[in-house]
Amino acid sequence: MGEQPTINQRELWLLAEKCASLSFELLGFYEVADGQIQHRSAGSGMFVAPCQGITARHVVNDLHRVSPEWTDEVRRKERSGYFYLPYHGLAFQIFDINEPNRAAEWGVTRVWMDTVTDAASLELAPGNPEARIMMDRMRPLFPTWSLLPPPVGATVVLVGQHRDQSAPGEAVPERATYRIMPALVTENFEREHDRGMYNFPGYFVNVDVPHGMSGGAVFWEGRFCGLISGGLGGSTYIASLWPMCLTKFESPNLGILNREITLEKMFDTGQLKAVDWNRVKGLISYATERDRCIPLLRSPDGFPLDCE
């Protein structure tokens, strides 16, 4: 069977309890012709700051398929900057780990897609009394980040909130499952995976995750260290976090109050915390190759920084 991850069971339980208060399931809703509401479960995500969440970019893209007739139109709009979507997205968060189907509901009000890695940032607004309670409950729980990936052989924990797959034409099941999965890091890719669609920095772990855990968080020694991206041959590819640092956040509808910020600035000001921020600060840049942006992590002498 191969090497198995080792982790203290009490530490695993404490992490599971903490992450249950930070994780969410992302769904898209739209109204059909007869007035009925249809919805699509796209994947998982995690709160990292007040009213701010992180998920995988492909999970947000999957929401575009909430209505097949809108898919092509929405994808064309992606190239034109900011726009309003013809449906609305909600994040469902577990209110109590002992009552996994009592949900705090959050409206997705803005989305910022990362162009160089499989990540997206979300602005979320509380939509019911449980969500407003969770705003206060989460404040001491927001994670410290590890921007650089864990080394090969490290034990990590994958966290997500997924639903069982429904048969074609059937409604999305009512029950969501909160899941944590220990795993071992088996390969590390500082630039991009050498085959397939994973053309961004990341690493493989030795477990295969169920549908719906994409976009969920990965933890190493209690620190947030990656996003679940997808599977390949019984393993799962995890997106490293450091390429997100130069992602720009804007709110054009605020007019003269609009300002541009980046995750880099949020780490610099202490709004977000990372154990290795001083190690990577100022060393992240982009290059253009084959008509696409490539994230680079360079030491001061211009050589690639050793991620391990």
Q: What is the CATH number of the domain that holds 105?
A: 2.40.10.10
Asked whether residue 109 is domain-assigned, the answer is yes
What would the two tokens of residue 155 be? 């034990």
Asked whether residue 233 is domain-assigned, the answer is no
What is the sign, positive or negative, of the torsion defined by CA atoms of 150, 151, 152, 153? negative
pLDDT digit string, tens, across residues 49-99: 999 999 998 888 877 666 655 555 555 555 555 555 555 788 989 888 777
Asked whether residue 187 is domain-assigned, the answer is no
Asked whether residue 302 is domain-assigned, the answer is no
DSSP bridge pairs for 231:
236
Number of domains in the chain: 1
Q: Which residue has the higher pLDDT, 184 or 231?
A: 184
Domain enclosing residue 134, as ranges: 13-141
Asked whether residue 221 is domain-assigned, the answer is no
Asked whether residue 22 is domain-assigned, the answer is yes
In this prediction the pTM is 0.83
pLDDT digit string, tens, across residues 173-211: 555 678 889 999 999 888 665 555 777 899 999 999 888
Asked whether residue 63 is domain-assigned, the answer is yes
With 0-12 CB in 10 A as exposed, 13-18 as middle and 19+ as buried, what is 192? middle
Asked whether residue 67 is domain-assigned, the answer is yes
φ, ψ (nearest 5 deg) of residue 264:
-55, -45
